[in-house]
Amino acid sequence: MAKTRGHISIDIDECKGCELCTVECPQDGMAMSTELNRKGYHYALLVEDVCTGCTNCALVCPEAVITVYRENKANKTKEKVAVITDVRDNITVTVS
């Protein structure tokens, strides 16, 4: 597998079934469930093992219920999501 390995987890009971994530997935790895969740919606699922952890699905998810994971290539030192210093005095924010 040449691609970066990734995965998502979805809080399916909070999904409102808008389907926007399924359109946004560049790997076409997502689909809607046949079951209904507690709210009565078909919920989003990762159905193909093709996730690269690109975060696109999470970015368009209105309910913010998708958590995204990605492999740490070559077991490098873990990179942080954001480096924050006290910005009130000195604005330095790095978002990787």
Partner 1 sequence: MSAASEGIQCAYIEDLDEVWARPSTLIETTMHYCPGCGHSVVHRLIMEVIRELNIQEIAIGVAPVGCAVFAYHYMDIDMQEAAHGRATAVATGIKRMLPDRMVFTYQGDGDLAAIGTAETIHTINRGENIVMVFINNGIYGMTGGQMAPTTLEGSITSTTPSGRDLAMHGHPLKITEMIAMLPGAYYVTRQAVNTAKAVRKTKRALMNAFKYQMEGKGGTSFIEVVSNCPSGWKMTPIESNQWLENHIFKNFELGDIKTPPKE
According to DSSP, the residues that pair with 9 across neighbouring strands are 67
Question: Rounded to the nearest whole angstrom, what is the least distance from the CB of residue 50 to partner 1 in the complex?
Answer: 9
Question: Rounded to the nearest whole angstrom, what is the least distance from the CB of residue 77 to partner 1 in the complex?
Answer: 11
Buried b (16+ CB within 10 A) or exposed e, 34-54: eeebeeebbbbbbeeebbbbb
27 lines the binding site for partner 1 (CB under 8 A): no
With vertex at residue 62, the alpha carbon angle to CA 60 and CA 64, rounded to the nearest 5 degrees, is: 90
H/E stretch holding 23: helix 20-24
Q: How many residues bind partner 1 (CB under 8 A)?
A: 57
3-state SS, residue 22 = helix
66 lines the binding site for partner 1 (CB under 8 A): yes
Among 1, 36, 67, 74, binds partner 1 (CB under 8 A): 67
Q: Which residues contact partner 1 by CB under 8 A?
A: 5-7, 9-14, 16-20, 23-24, 33-35, 39, 41, 45-49, 53-72, 78-79, 81-82, 84, 86-88, 91, 93, 95
